[in-house]
Structure 1
Amino acid sequence: MARINRTLVLTLLIAASSIFLLFQIYNYRLYSTKNGLDVFNSKRYLSGKEAHLHLLKKFLGLVHKFKLPVFLVDTASLTLLSQDAVLYRDSRLNEPHCSFFCTHRDFTTFALYGNLWKYDAALLEASAERGLELMEIRGKDPRLISMDDLTAKEIPLHFLFRFNSRVVHVVVLYERSGKYLWHGPLRLGDGMDRTFAAFGKLDFGRYAGAYDRPELILTTLDGLDIRIPKNFSGFLREFSSSRFLECRSREAKAFYQLYPEDTSAEAVDFKMRAKSLLHLASKVLSALGVPFWLSSGTCLGWYRQCNIIPYSKDVDLGIWIKDYRDDITQAFQKAGLPLKHKFGKVEDSLELSFQGNDVKLDIFFFYDEGDIVWNGGTQAKSGKKFKYVFPRFSLCWAELMELKVQVPCETRGLCDRQLWTQLECSCKNLGLEELPVQRPGEWRLACAGMG
């Protein structure tokens, strides 16, 4: 009898232990799933949706700890959004889910307001404590580069947080003097791990970029509290044309060494008037929703010497003819710029000139003809018309006179082409042979017999 009791007790103990062990395994697996850790994965790392949510939770923990002013700029995630999705806070859902962040890509991108965050070296240690690998990419601060000093301290440009081959990419945005946001390119230094991420697939970093400051809202996506641009569709449109070209300070300094800057009172006064006119023109056209870019001599001044050319006596802008509006003239006149000349017509070689405060504003309208684009020109005195033809070009953002403006991305070739073409037309119109002479760093335009 005693033997039977001992066997029964032993059996009950084994059964109870087994049940307790199974219960512990179930609870641990449930906890692991909720926190994105799958210990039953033979490779001991997360995969799929759980992996990405786990990484994002770790990253957002760092955001909270260091009070990082970040917001979502991931193009794939923002593309999935709708206004209903933004208004619907899904934090009530209890089951693991990943609708917006779990895209076909293994990275998610956030932007960080660099001007609102004080760099903290403890971020590296805190990342390691959370099992995250951190790569920091730095570069020169272009805001500190001037004609007198081409050196500048380095600032953080990009952070990459990695966990099991998945990455959170943080793009650092800095405010520039033109009251816009700028990020630098992602360039790996010597000795940096080029296998850390699929750098060629990242949304941001191939080029520098420029953006208007977006209004942000707090929402909940996939159970996570995230800040996003309120007008996320507008931000995506801005992203598609955000490439930024930095002023060529080194080349400008070399130019001024050969041809010292005109610092006369007259030249300084003209630059200030031209700056005021450029800012006013930008305000008028932006209010109309008409995109424009620097053209002709104004574009050359930005490209060659990072400044307005003091002897140009005008400000030149380009606009696609498809963006022409009937109320452009009225808007400029209302802003205090009377119409001085109107050449051509909308169907062919339209050109508008407005008179500012001793500085003329010339607006050239560009026509698209397949592989080429062109703008018309009319000589005021004779009425003769010319056609300036250029290869097709794209537009990039730049800064001139503390203003965020667009310039042709292929500025070098277009500046040279436009100046040569204008020279040829001017000389032929005078009945003279063109005589272009190139000096180091500058084109000297002349006609035979005029010197």
Structure 2
Amino acid sequence: MPRLNKTGLLAVLVAASSAFLLFQLYYYRQSSNGGNTLRQKDIQWDALRRVMGVARKVALPIFLADPAALSLIGQMGGSEGGGHGCSFLCTGRPVTAFAAIADHWKYDRQAVATAASQKGLEVEQVRGRDPRLLEEGAELSAAQIPLHFLFRSTHGHIIQVVLLYQRSGGYLWHAPLRLAPSADHRLASPTSLPYGRHAGAYHRPELVLMVVDGLDVQVPRNSSHFLSLRSHAHFIECRHKEARAFYQLYPEDGSVEAAEFRRGARSVLSLAARTLDALNVPFWISSGTCLGWYRQCGFISYSRDVDVGVFIRHYRPDLATAFASAGLPLKHRFGKVEDSLELSFQSPGGGVKLDIFFFYQEENEGGGIVWNGGTQAKSGRKFKYVFPSFKLCWAELAGVRVRVPCTTLDYVRANYGHEAWSSPVTAWDWKTSPANVMENGVWPREDWGQVIQLY
């Protein structure tokens, strides 16, 4: 029998040992990573539990508003998620968001700070002026209200609580998050938080109590709908300071006729908003109504009508019927769905007129434009008003929640001139005065019965 080569045997033993050590190291790393993940989830869950304890202590009615967590809950179809570890609330993100409808909550700054400290949490309480008082011109006396709470656990997890307030338009509003220079910026950057990059406007959500990851949590019943609202919630506050400066230069018309117009305009705008919302037709305030909101936070009393815009893709054939049922019969219809459509409705007694301009989108090398048309009834002449493309944001005018172009100044300047928009112009010709008007041909005489309809 041949003798075993000692060198060969040693090499085999070394290779086997190395393989075993490598396997052990791999197993350890896998176990260690899993353990770290579990530990991180435990830390996040514990931070959430502590914040919910603070909320109970100060009677703050919070509900889950975190986009990632709500998305997971929506995927499970609304069933309760408990007993399987922190699967829904612990998303691995550095911030978890809650919200609270705070209108009837009694805020005590010291009580919040004390409750947070007792739970081992740091807290930054972000406050600001109540915009509902700013609307009334009470800038100096506008109270400071809580806007956001940022809680931080000892392990660094952030829990944001955004405060929602009901505005006069019947919607819920939250403020943007602006940390003061003296604030602890270690808590979080506003741009990294789910809520706070800009103000937001929401319908009041219906809430249900669920057990999620072993915690009793209020959650929007329709989480997918809530997340959809969040993606289009951007709200722009009226420029109250600039409006007051405008009225110092150009005092508001105090005549009976002007006051009656403002009341009528608010009534027509409110009715238009309810009617279009019921039809699920998004709209925005346009032309002089948009200028009035941007320049002076109100209606331009000498304009004598209310103007709204609608993208043509949202046109519905039953619009005229819906407005007639609401008390605004059709006054005239110009153009056609394919080109320059415009509808006007008259309030009872020949009062304030509502104009709905339909906007068409065109792509070009600069990124695209939008335009609406105009028609002169007696001649059939067509006009075109061109605007840069825009997205829509929420706003409020005379207590009515409306949309405005997010880039409002660009929109206003396109229509009224780069600087001329800032001063009143009472002599206005819709065919020649707008800065963005251009001739767009003439309707063929044989089409007048279809494109020029007066009632």
TM-score by length of 2: 0.81
Q: How many angstroms apart in 2 are the aligned matches of 1:409 and 1:295?
A: 12
Cα offset for 1:438?
A: 3.8
- 2:113 is aligned to 124
| Aligned residue identity for 2:117 | A
Q: Does 1:110 align with 2:102?
A: no
Q: Give the gaps of 5 or more residues in structure 1.
A: 1-40, 421-435
Q: How many angstroms apart in 2 are the aligned matches of 1:348 and 1:446?
A: 25
Cα offset for 1:47?
A: 4.4
Q: How many angstroms apart in 2 are the aligned matches of 1:127 and 1:437?
A: 51
Higher alpha-carbon deviation: 374-383 or 214-223: 374-383
Q: Does 1:379 align with 2:376?
A: yes
Q: Secondary structure at the match of 1:81?
A: helix
Going from structure 1 to structure 2, the CA distance change for 1:273 and 1:439 (only over 3 Å counts) comes to closer
| Aligned residue identity for 1:378 | T
Q: Secondary structure at the match of 2:234?
A: coil
CA contact (8 A) 1:165 1:197 kept: no
Show CA shifts across 1:352-402 (max 9, x none): 111113111100011111211111111233321111111111111111111
Q: How many angstroms apart in 1 are the aligned matches of 2:149 and 2:175?
A: 12
Cα offset for 1:145?
A: 1.3
Going from structure 1 to structure 2, the CA distance change for 1:148 and 1:106 (only over 3 Å counts) comes to closer
Q: Secondary structure at the match of 1:116?
A: coil
- 2:281 is aligned to 290
Show CA shifts across 1:122-161 (max 9, x none): 1211211111111111111111114643222211100011
- 1:145 is aligned to 134
Going from structure 1 to structure 2, the CA distance change for 1:192 and 1:98 (only over 3 Å counts) comes to same
| Aligned residue identity for 1:159 | F
Q: 2:148 aligns with which of 155, 158, 180?
A: 158
Q: How many angstroms apart in 2 are the aligned matches of 1:171 and 1:441?
A: 38
Q: Secondary structure at the match of 2:208?
A: strand
Q: 1:398 aligns with which of 395, 399, 404?
A: 395
Cα offset for 1:332?
A: 0.7
Q: Secondary structure at the match of 1:136?
A: strand
Going from structure 1 to structure 2, the CA distance change for 1:446 and 1:296 (only over 3 Å counts) comes to closer
Q: How many angstroms apart in 1 are the aligned matches of 2:428 and 2:391?
A: 30
Question: Alpha carbon RMSD of aligned pairs, Å?
Answer: 2.2
Q: 2:164 aligns with which of 159, 162, 173?
A: 173
Going from structure 1 to structure 2, the CA distance change for 1:363 and 1:411 (only over 3 Å counts) comes to same
Going from structure 1 to structure 2, the CA distance change for 1:245 and 1:55 (only over 3 Å counts) comes to same
CA contact (8 A) 2:81 2:88 kept: no
Q: How many angstroms apart in 1 are the aligned matches of 2:39 and 2:383?
A: 63
Higher alpha-carbon deviation: 119-128 or 46-55: 46-55
| Aligned residue identity for 2:62 | V
Show CA shifts across 1:154-202 (max 9, x none): 1110001111110110000111111111111100112212122243211
Q: 1:368 aligns with which of 344, 361, 369?
A: 361
CA contact (8 A) 1:249 1:305 kept: yes
CA contact (8 A) 2:357 2:372 kept: yes
Q: Secondary structure at the match of 1:60?
A: helix
Q: How many angstroms apart in 2 are the aligned matches of 1:84 and 1:240?
A: 21
Identity of aligned residues (%): 53
Going from structure 1 to structure 2, the CA distance change for 1:328 and 1:138 (only over 3 Å counts) comes to same
Cα offset for 1:61?
A: 1.4
Going from structure 1 to structure 2, the CA distance change for 1:228 and 1:437 (only over 3 Å counts) comes to closer
Q: Does 1:205 align with 2:196?
A: yes
Aligned residues: 387
- 2:263 is aligned to 272
Q: How many angstroms apart in 1 are the aligned matches of 2:125 and 2:322?
A: 47
| Aligned residue identity for 1:183 | H
Q: How many angstroms apart in 1 are the aligned matches of 2:68 and 2:209?
A: 19
- 2:7 is aligned to none
CA contact (8 A) 1:216 1:229 kept: yes
Q: How many angstroms apart in 1 are the aligned matches of 2:343 and 2:62?
A: 44
TM-score by length of 1: 0.82
| Aligned residue identity for 2:386 | V
CA contact (8 A) 2:334 2:375 kept: yes
- 1:9 is aligned to none
Q: How many angstroms apart in 2 are the aligned matches of 1:251 and 1:71?
A: 36
Q: 2:74 aligns with which of 77, 82, 102?
A: 82
- 1:182 is aligned to 173
- 2:437 is aligned to none
Higher alpha-carbon deviation: 197-206 or 280-289: 197-206
CA contact (8 A) 2:237 2:395 kept: yes
Cα offset for 1:65?
A: 2.1
Show CA shifts across 1:205-234 (max 9, x none): 011111111111111111111111112111
Q: How many angstroms apart in 1 are the aligned matches of 2:151 and 2:246?
A: 43
Going from structure 1 to structure 2, the CA distance change for 1:439 and 1:246 (only over 3 Å counts) comes to closer
